[in-house]
Amino acid sequence: MAQFRYKVRDRSGVAVSGVVEAENEKAVSSSLRELGYQIVSVEESRGLSVLLLKWAGRFQRTRPQEMVFFTRQLAMMVRSGLPLVDGIQSASLQAESAPFRKALVLLVQDLKGGVSFSEGLAKYPRFFSNFYASMVRAGEAAGILDQVLERLAEIGEEELALRGRVKGALIYPTLLIAMSVVIVTYLLTAILPRFVEIFEESGAQLPLPTIILLTVSKILQRFWFLIPFVLFGAVFSFRRFARTPQGRYRIHRWLLKLPVAGSLIRKTNLARFSRIMGSLLKSGIQAVAALAITQEVIDNEVMRQALVHILEAVIAGSNLADPFRVSQIFPPTVVQMVSVGERTGTLDEILIRVSQFYDEEVERDLEALTHTLEPFLLLFMGLIVGFIALSVLLPIFQLVKVFKR
């Protein structure tokens, strides 16, 4: 198939442009007209531009914002009565990511071939998670696909907001650490070597801090080229260890024990668990299937393993509250809420309220983490710079005393 660039206007006159793959220009024009677009231009991409687009497409990633926009847009189209195939085809024309656009085109072909929407989504797990496909399957069965898509878009927006708050809280500490590394490296490699010859020619006995600093400075100057290899080896070894089930479990268990940060990780996963589990139950999915799906989207391996054991207990005939209590991973408040929700038949609503509560808790923990890290990092940076200054000044004071004599 060839690639074609198109420029069109929708029913309200808004300009839309993009790139699509098709057999010929006539097929592109026909598809655009079927969707109600007024064609401005359609031309085939040729030569170097095609190669560059294909090469860039291999490394292009689908942003979470694009998935949320697609889901929200599709929900509006389905609610307005537009056929599902036309809605997805229209959304594919506006997709920014080439891999995602191609997946939507293939999804349209699957739907035209008689495959259900949820089955089609399951073919592309890179873009549509098991949770996403299961929610759509429930919406299809209950005849409320537009409502389910709207809820999926809301969940996506909540996840994006949470992720954005976490990243925003870590920007300042990250910049402060980077500045500390740059300043210390500059002092050790550019400033300190100027004093080395003076110290060595004086013949005076150097204090211990100066000896330590000179040793570090010489190592950095002589073996600086090894540092990237050492860092790469350390990162590679750590990532390889983290990819093993045992390594991932140990690292995540250690992370949960960290002060402030451990509480933040736990509450973030609790908010995600409650939000997704509650949404699945509200869509009519049974508790066993909902647990099976939810444990796949939990980031922390310790909490995920706890959900696996809870799922096994429920399959064996237990109620929900008891295995939650035995796991000792979930707070007593959550266990109590699960117990109440199970008895009253309102578990879905209670879990959604729990997710809102933990979203607020995460917000407070992020503020606490930021307020804790800032003075600690400033103090640490001050101690390092102070140690360097002391190491340089002490031998200078000794030299001044020698010259006075």
Helix 227-243 / helix 245-256 crossing angle, nearest 10 deg: 100
The pTM of the full predicted model, rounded to 2 decimals, is 0.70
Q: What is the pLDDT of residues 237-286, one digit of tens each?
A: 999 998 898 999 999 999 988 887 888 889 988 998 998 889 888 888 88
Residue 126 Cα distances to 103, 246, 248, angstroms: 9, 25, 22
- Judge whether 399 and 202 are in contact, CB under 8 Å: yes
What average pLDDT score do residues 37-42 get? Answer: 77
Question: Is 287 within 8 Å of 307 (Cβ atoms)?
Answer: no
**What is the pLDDT at residue 236?**
93
Partnered with residue 17 across adjacent β-strands are 7
Q: Average pLDDT of the chain? A: 81
Q: What is the pLDDT of residue 127?
A: 87
Phi, psi of 200 (to 5 degrees): -70, -35
Tens of pLDDT, residues 202-217: 666 777 887 787 788 7
Contact between 262 and 218 under an 8 Å Cβ cutoff? The reply is no
Q: Are 40 and 8 in contact (CB under 8 A)?
A: yes
Scored b (16 or more CB within 10 A) or e, 347-377 reads: bbebbbebbebbbebbeebbeebbeebeeeb
* pLDDT higher at 31 or 184: 184
CA dist., res. 189 & res. 227, Å (int): 14
Query: Could you read off the pLDDT of 59-105 as tens digits, one per residue?
Result: 445 677 888 888 888 888 888 888 888 888 888 877 777 788 888 88
pLDDT digits (tens, 9 = 90+) for 359-377: 888 888 888 777 777 788 8
Quickly list DSSP for 76-121: HHHHTT--HHHHHHHHHHT-SSHHHHHHHHHHHHHHHTT--HHHHH
CB 21 within 8 A of CB 105: yes
Domain ranges of the chain: 1-59, 162-405
With 60 as the cut, is the pLDDT of residue 53 above it? no
pLDDT per residue as tens digits for the range 306-347: 999 999 999 998 888 899 998 888 889 889 999 999 899 899
pLDDT at res. 249: 92
Band of pLDDT at residue 187, cut at 50, 70 and 90:
confident
Q: Dig out the tokens for 399 from the structure.
A: 């030299």
How far is residue 378's CA from residue 384's CA, in Å, rounded to a whole number?
A: 10
Domain 162-405 CATH (choose: 3.90.650.10, 3.40.50.720, 2.40.50.100, 1.20.81.30): 1.20.81.30
Burial letters 162-189, b for 16+ CB under 10 A, else e? beebbeebeeebeebeeebeeebeebbe
